[in-house]
Amino acid sequence: MTQSLIFDMDGTLFQTDKILEISLEDTFNHLRSLNKWDTVTPIDKYRQIMGVPLPKVWETLLPNHNNEEREQTDAYFLEKLVRNIRSGKGALYPNVKEVFTFLKEHNCSIYIASNGLSAYLKAIVSYYNLDKWVTETFSIQQIESLSKSDLVRSILKKYDITNAAVVGDRLSDINAAKDNGLISIGCNFDFAQEDELSQAEIVIDDLIELKAILPKLENMYLTNK
């Protein structure tokens, strides 16, 4: 049976934490220089909502700013993120490439479904040569609803996938699996929250665990039907 795994990017494959704080600090320093921010950078608040689409991020972090200011901030932040990725300040989680190699050797198709923007995802995929393993990377920008569930559904439809698991660290990933009748694999990594992970069918502490889980997925697919 051909299997498919759909991975989240931030906090699952890519250690966003390594570039998040410096990029956010740069962005809010920029706002301070424009006299549009006069307090501390809300890094903790961002950590709490990590995984939601960026438009909703800026609604939360900049509640008193207008949409134009949020869009300008979003563009500046994206520029800083991409620059930090290309300068090598980020990192993949341990064992990503080893696991991807294993999955491909076992006839498994790999996709990425992320709430990140296309330019950001492209920078990561390009810098780490992930397209060597990944069939296609999908951004939330491709879906009008900004719903991870709808994004995953579009992957299933495009590639005629019936058996798959969604691998991610946040509730949006777990719900994307459930809403599409897929298996949910929660990643207990940096941004994960215990109450969200409790809703996943499987929880892992390291991506290397997928090597042992893969043979068990076929029976789980049959159980889920």
> The domain spanning residue 171 has which CATH number?
3.40.50.1000
80 and 115 within one domain: no
Q: Is the separation of the CB atoms in 78 and 119 below 8 Å? A: yes
Number of domains in the chain: 2
Mean pLDDT of 78-93: 95
**pLDDT score, position 30:** 96
95 and 72 within one domain: no
Q: Which two tokens stand for residue 52?
A: 């939601």
Q: Residue 223 pLDDT more than 80?
A: no
Q: Residue 74 pLDDT more than 70?
A: yes
24 and 9 within one domain: no
Taking the model in full, what pTM does it have? 0.91
Q: Residue 46 pLDDT more than 80?
A: yes
118 and 56 within one domain: no
Length of the chain: 225
Last residue within a domain, chosen from 66, 86, 106: 86
Q: Which of 153, 160, 155, 168 is nearest to 210 (CA)?
A: 168
Kindly write down the DSSP assignment for every residue of 92-150, as one continuous string. BPTTHHHHHHHHHHTTEEEEEEESS-HHHHHHHHHHTTGGGTEEEEEEGGG-TT--HHH
22 and 9 within one domain: no
115 and 25 within one domain: no
Please report which confidence band the pLDDT of residue 225 belongs to, taking 50, 70 and 90 as the band edges: low
131 and 64 within one domain: no
Q: Residue 19 pLDDT more than 90?
A: yes
Q: Which domain holds residue 190?
A: 3-15+91-224
61 and 132 within one domain: no
182-210: pLDDT as tens digits: 999 999 998 899 999 999 999 999 999 99
d(CA 16, CA 192): 13
Last residue within a domain, chosen from 86, 111, 130: 86
101 and 77 within one domain: no
**pLDDT score, position 47:** 84
d(CA 146, CA 69): 20
119 and 56 within one domain: no
97-144: pLDDT as tens digits: 999 999 999 999 999 999 988 999 999 999 999 999 999 999 999 999
d(CA 69, CA 190): 30
Q: What is the percentage of the chain residues whose pLDDT exceeds 90?
A: 83
95 and 80 within one domain: no
- Partner residues linked to 134 by β-bridges: 110
**pLDDT score, position 215:** 87
180 and 108 within one domain: yes
Q: Which two tokens stand for residue 16?
A: 């966003």
d(CA 62, CA 42): 10
